[in-house]
Structure 1
Amino acid sequence: MKITRPTPRRHPETIIALIDVVFFLLVFFMLIGRMDATAPFEVSPPTALTGADMPAGGVTLSVAADGTMALDGEAIAPDQIDPRVQALLATQPDVLIRINAHRDAALRAILPRIARFEAMGARDVVLVVTPPGPVR
């Protein structure tokens, strides 16, 4: 009686080497690729002038954390700000407008107001900021 051994099955090719190659290619392209959208033109962001003295004169709009507003230290309703600033710009077109907003104030209360001031003809609208660092 002749007993035949079954032919040994070939082990399938391991795919581990291919996975390593794909992983290295993925890491390579992630490192050399740009992840942010680039503009089709040059963009130079503005430079903050922290530590510089504020110019004198002008009008200051203060915005509290809860959205309450004051114009030159006098509490004012939000719908009364635009007419007052418009009247001021009619007599002093070069007036400086400062916006001193609390850090917790909603940006949606500040940015549209800046756009309206610029539409009225304001040339200089300054946001008052606090430089980073320890609080004194």
Structure 2
Amino acid sequence: MRLKRSRAAPHSETIIALIDVVFFLLVFFMLIGRMDATAPFDVTPPQAQTGRDMPAGGVTLAISQEGKTALDGHEMGAADLSLALAAELSKDPEMRLRINAHRATDLRHVLPQVSQAEALGIRDVILVVTPERTPGDQP
């Protein structure tokens, strides 16, 4: 009597393991990769200087939370401010402009003042900030 051997079923190639590996690689590279756009050139941001005295000279522009402006303590509108800055710049071509804005002032009130200063030819604009307090600081 002849016994028939059962044929071994061909091993089906399981692709499930390969899909798992590809999925894990995808997740890994998504986690370690940078998602932000990088500039095509070197950009070094400015460094804040706290704990130092502000440079002397120049004028101070105060900007309220509502966008009102005052130059060296005298409240004035945009047209008067431009004339006053131009007059100060004619006296001192190396004049510094310190901008002291309220902490809740919208950026839309501050940026036009910086642009105006640049248009007038003011090269040094100093943004006055308050350093962050640490728990051990005295008020």
Aligned residues: 125
- What letter matches 1:95 in structure 2? M
CA distance in 1, matches of 2:96, 2:106: 23
Aligned partner of 2:54 in structure 1 is: 54
Runs of 4+ in 1 over 4 A off after TM superposition: 13-19
State the 1:96 CA deviation: 1.1
- Per mean C-alpha deviation after superposition, the further-off stretch among 57-66 and 28-37 is 28-37
What pairs up with 1:39-118 in 2 under 5 angstroms? 39-118=39-118
Aligned residue number for residue 132 of structure 1: 132
In 2, Cα distance between equivalents of 1:18 and 1:79: 70
| Cα RMSD (Å) | 2.2
2:23 alignment counterpart: 23
Deviation at 1:57, TM superposition (A): 2.0
Q: Where in structure 1 are there 5+ consecutive unaligned residues? A: 1-12
Rounded to whole Å, the distance in 2 between the matches of 1:83 and 1:14 is 79
